[in-house]
A and B are shown apart, each in its own frame.
Chain A
């Protein structure tokens, strides 16, 4: 069935380095792709989204890249900090599905001092 999934379950990153979190998706009809961050003991929190007609969007220290040819989404975090340690989920939404958010499996990012 349609799904949004992740390549790597755990990513260890040295503090100060850049992090890249990857996500594969299967539904070409998605209107938006979104990244969420979940810290331990908390609910997920919105980071950034990208419309399907774009290929890049930048936020504060984060950049999302969308490659529709290979159905691949990535989140890049610049100068990774200890506070970036969390689980990151990609998600997609479609207007035709009432904007329901469908989440991928998550990647745990561990920042090493």
Chain B
């Protein structure tokens, strides 16, 4: 597709359940980010994949959060044993990783609600 695609667009889950959020980046983009955004708040960095380098996981808030990127393309963010404080919009972005690529393209996000 032409842009970054995230699915599902909305997810309601019960507390304690596991969820998987999917991101399809722009084809050929080597860098992929996951951010979390609570209502009316800023962008909280979660994880960063860049090519074949080890991912930067420094933003993951707890060991309940994990992410993988298969084949350098699609990424899945998994949240285990969801808690109400996990409710937020989860945004994925990709960039083309030229010499100093500063333009990241964001998806529309997945709105996660934990009840």
Contacts and interface: CB of A to CB of B under 8 A. Distances in A.
Contacts of A49: 102-103
Interface string B11-48: 00000000000000000000101010000011101001
Interface in A18-51: 31-32, 34, 41-46, 49, 51
Given A43-B91, A46-B103, A98 B42 contact: no
A46 B48 contact: no
Contacts of B33: 100-101
Interface of A: 31-32, 34, 41-46, 49, 51, 89, 91, 93, 95, 97-106
Interface of B: 4, 31, 33, 35, 41-43, 45, 48, 50, 53, 56, 91, 93, 95, 97, 100-109
